[in-house]
Structure 1
């Protein structure tokens, strides 16, 4: 997401357990866990970040996450720096970095602690809360500083940071089987498979012999049935995991398909 659409530096604070569901990550993110626990999944593996951990999210990925305050009370708190494409393009031209060819890497990278990371994140304190420093030029300087620090400590990230290509056309069937449980807009699925929305729908119907919407509903309910019947999970535990936003809508769709409410399975 471009820097004019969201703050370049963002603090997240919660006093209660917060299950956020799904999110599309449109830009690279450099983040620090100040307190509490952050559990995040990219659909293949689960990563857990505790107080003092640093992480890097690669753009153009889907994630699910849970934010939990410290055990015994306190506040979940993290700070994130968004490395938008415009900033990275300008940086690459000014510093002589050439755009990289696309390289497949992990969506979530746990960064080893480093004194530069900690001192940088501590320097962001003025950007937190009411009366925070919101001067765009100062924020831009901090984002550039974050890029310099990442390149100094993790030189291999240059291949990721300066890859400005869009996702290439990939196998649609395997992608959807892996990512059906992410509740994002259809245009996101299309983009991540390297297709326009129209081409995505056309290719989808050729492969699955049904529309994306119908297939997603069927596949999500199928997975929910398995989780409830075979794994003994409840509807309230399952519905978000399989891609539904609302428990009542899930229960209605489940009963409509299987003839029984989830609690009767």
Structure 2
């Protein structure tokens, strides 16, 4: 197994579901502009959010709230060969399409904690098992399927914990992400700058202005450079080829990726790969 390997489903340029596997314990930051449902199939996931430690064990499910900033660390038992989890991203646009079919719960206080562990109900396990099946066979899906799965997810989550419906009603609230962690953790999304700005809770003009102030660069130049640097890192530190990483880092076309890589580093992706093997 590579140090960290992922399989993804995308829709409209956004990652909506994924399976992650790793055999090397590493700490990574998290900051996503959507609610994320996580199912740990093997190992233990430790999330550090505002210096509070949250553990999600094998066979457990958790909902991480939109714009939650922290770090996660994946571990496993000596008898296991690594960590594996499955995620389903509940994008606001899909929530908005289906939330009107649900009635607000009565007598419940709104949920405000950044992460909620959910009971592993038949509905939730069934949902995550179906996500795993789709991820293993598809790279891109159509909106109707994600809309259906989003509806299924909200039904399964709120059946287990009705007060969480308040979380999904937040789609209509104007929320602004902290720009620096948002950009640093989401630059691989293959979406337009307009969509990127929207995901951060800003107009395009405001996004461009604040980005240039924070990063001393234009969004297009900085994002492209970061994608290429990440691609180089993946090629040097894993067994994957350019054809296996260009989508992961945010490029939509292998030819464009290869040309950009050569222009930036002076070497083709395959030459970088051969260099790492020689070293």
1-side partners of 2:13 and 2:209: how far apart?
28
1-side partners of 2:116 and 2:63: how far apart?
5
Match of 1:236 in 2: none
Deviation at 1:186, TM superposition (A): 8.4
Render the CA deviation track for 1:13-37: whole Å, top value 9, x for unaligned.
11221222x2212100111110011
Larger radius of gyration: 1
1-side partners of 2:208 and 2:146: how far apart?
38
1-side partners of 2:65 and 2:76: how far apart?
25
1:135 to 141, 145, 148: 141
- The verdict on how the C-alpha distance between 1:145 and 1:23 changes in structure 2, with shifts beyond 3 A counting, is same
Superposition pairs of residues 63-82 of structure 1, within 5 angstroms: 63-82=70-89
- Structure 1 residue 8 and structure 2 residue 5: aligned? no
- The verdict on how the C-alpha distance between 1:166 and 1:44 changes in structure 2, with shifts beyond 3 A counting, is farther
Match of 2:181 in 1: 184
Q: Secondary structure at the match of 1:113?
A: coil
Match of 1:229 in 2: none
Match of 1:225 in 2: none
Give 5+ residue unaligned stretches, structure 2.
1-9, 186-199, 216-279
1:118 to 120, 125, 137: 125
1-side partners of 2:139 and 2:146: how far apart?
8
CA contact (8 A) 2:18 2:87 kept: yes
1-side partners of 2:104 and 2:207: how far apart?
33
Q: TM-score, normalised by structure 2?
A: 0.54
Deviation at 1:160, TM superposition (A): 1.0
1-side partners of 2:27 and 2:162: how far apart?
34
2-side partners of 1:3 and 1:27: how far apart?
14
1-side partners of 2:87 and 2:25: how far apart?
19
Give 5+ residue unaligned stretches, structure 1.
169-178, 201-210, 214-265
Aligned positions, number = 182
2-side partners of 1:154 and 1:110: how far apart?
10
Match of 2:270 in 1: none
Deviation at 1:143, TM superposition (A): 2.2
2-side partners of 1:187 and 1:167: how far apart?
18
- Over the residues paired in the alignment, what is the CA RMSD in angstroms? 3.7
Q: Secondary structure at the match of 1:80?
A: strand
Q: Secondary structure at the match of 1:67?
A: strand
2-side partners of 1:185 and 1:83: how far apart?
17
Match of 1:25 in 2: 32
1-side partners of 2:134 and 2:153: how far apart?
15
Superposition pairs of residues 201-240 of structure 1, within 5 angstroms: none
Q: Secondary structure at the match of 2:151?
A: helix
CA contact (8 A) 2:22 2:83 kept: yes
CA contact (8 A) 1:56 1:111 kept: yes
